[in-house]
Amino acid sequence: MQIKSPEFKQNARRALHDANLQRALGNLKAGFPGKRAAAIARLPEFEQLRQQARELKEHILQHLDLYLEAFEARVIENGGQVHWCRTSEEARQTILRICQEQNAKTVTKGKSMVTEEIDLNQFLQENGIRPVETDLGEYILQLRGDHPSHIIAPAIHLNLDDVAHTFHHRHQRPRLNDPAALLAEAREMLRQQFVAADVGITGANFLVAETGSSIIVTNEGNGDLTQLLPNTHIVVASIEKVVPTLEDMTLFLRLLARSATGQEFSVYNTLSTGGRRPGERDGPEHFHVVLVDNGRSEMVGTEFQEMLRCIRCSACMNHCPVYGAVGGHSYGWVYPGPMGSVLTPQLIGLERAALLPNASTLCGQCEAVCPVGIALPKLMRHWREREFERHLTPRAARWGLGGWAFFATRPRLYRLLSAGASWCLRRLGGKKGRLRSVLLAGGWTDHRDLPTPSGRPFMQQWRSRQRQEHTP
């Protein structure tokens, strides 16, 4: 996937003027947040579970090497293989080698953000292997030559008309406009691919050290068909997905669906523990787990370690005002929204992703809804600090911050100037109480009016309130 994160501003500007995208984003705002709130209201112990999950994740990260080694040992005992990959290239080559050993021509894939991260599909195609996405949203995007814009609802940027046009054009069938009919058409087309596939590739929501199992959490049956029908099943997962026991896994499952889609539980929660045993008729003969690091181990022990607690529920982006305005493609790479604004600079480099941590109001809504309590605004501020330290911040912004710091460290001068500026803006706003344009504030007034100040600086209002509260 081509990295377009340096073009965030241009991407966002186009998104704001894309009527079709804005209509689709309206469906997001009206859906997931309300369903999450209702699901959590039905679970009185939700906050207690969040705290338990946060503490458990921190424990796992402190002992990550031990749990990964325990997971590998169990997988081997179950007849499978584990492949350790430091980089995307190592992961791609490992998966290609497994496919070539099976003489694979067609590969079915369940939804997996890590395979997007390592750009697996294009690599397989270049090496003569045809990957077929089987998640409905991913399948639609593959037909369109598009990429996911959301980590659990990859095609959320599309509307019904887009899907109807794509199926009509690519399937060469009469155009259908009924969602159920389109779903039936996709199911019919994909059934052929499930049967023909030589290898099935899935991601993993969690890896269980106790049993050597992987689990996928889905609302479609495609994941089960992808891993059960082919002769070989490859699990591709990042290293932080490991949990100690099956009981620990259930803790995260109670949080995941509620935070993601507002469900009590997802429709399918499928465990895979090795390949087909002697005497069993179903399941793959070969079972492989490809563990992808790709810079994550460098986060352990740093101020960014808590980002590895993420369980990929998407609650942060579902509630983010920036994501809700510009959509996922504006972020220019695999992971959008607040979690992407923290994770992407680590994976592709701050030099190419410096705009993302700045694409935030720091309102704190993302942290408030995160099921494992990741302080995303704080982590974005850390990236902003590093951006400033490396002189990646635009020169005008650095000068502006320098000028503000000069006045902010001289309280009397700061109060004098802020009082004068407040008075001037209030006079310019007149009876309307707002300004259509303000020097150096075009980023705001290009899209909305600026309310005029009250005429009383904050410190003056604060002192007045303090006197009122202490007056007998």
User: Per-10-residue mean pLDDT for the chain, 472 residues long?
Assistant: 94 95 88 94 96 98 98 97 98 98 96 97 97 97 97 95 96 94 95 95 98 96 94 98 98 97 94 93 95 97 97 96 96 98 97 96 96 98 94 85 89 86 83 81 80 77 84 70
Domain 43-297: homologous superfamily in CATH:
NagB/RpiA/CoA transferase-like (3.40.50.10420)
Q: Tell me the Ramachandran region of residue 147: left when phi exceeds 0, alpha when psi lies from -120 to 50, beta otherwise.
A: beta
Tokens 């709130």, residue located:
37
Q: What is the pLDDT of residue 468?
A: 85
Give the contacts of 107 (CB within 8 A, at least 6 positions apart): 99, 124, 129, 130, 131, 132, 197, 198, 199, 200, 201, 230
**SS3 for 147-205, per residue?**
CCCCCCCCCCCCCHHHHHHHHHHHHCCCCCCCHHHHHHHHHHHHHHHHHHCCEEEECCC
Tokens 């990260």, residue located:
61
Any idea what the Cα angle at residue 247 is, between residues 225 and 223, rounded to 5°? 10
Q: What is the pLDDT of residue 472?
A: 67
Pair type for strands 206-208 and 213-218: antiparallel
Q: How far apart are CA 395 and CA 453, in angstroms?
A: 29
Is residue 148 within 8 Å of residue 155, measured between CB atoms?
yes
C-alpha separations of 367 from 10, 28, 347, 374, 377 in Å: 27, 19, 21, 6, 7
Residue ranges of the chain that CATH labels 3.40.50.10420: 43-297
Is residue 76 within 8 Å of residue 84, measured between CB atoms?
no
Give the contacts of 421 (CB within 8 A, at least 6 positions apart): none
CA 125 to chain centre: 25
CA 48 to chain centre: 24
Exposure of 350 by Cβ count < 10 A (0-12 exposed, 13-18 middle, 19+ buried)? Answer: middle
Tokens read off for 163: 């899907």
Tokens read off for 274: 């090795």
Q: How far apart are CA 314 and CA 306, in angstroms?
A: 16
Q: What is the pLDDT of residue 253?
A: 97
The pTM score is 0.90
Is residue 251 within 8 Å of residue 143, measured between CB atoms?
no
Name the residue type at position 382. H
- DSSP bridge pairs for 270: 216
Name the residue type at position 292. V
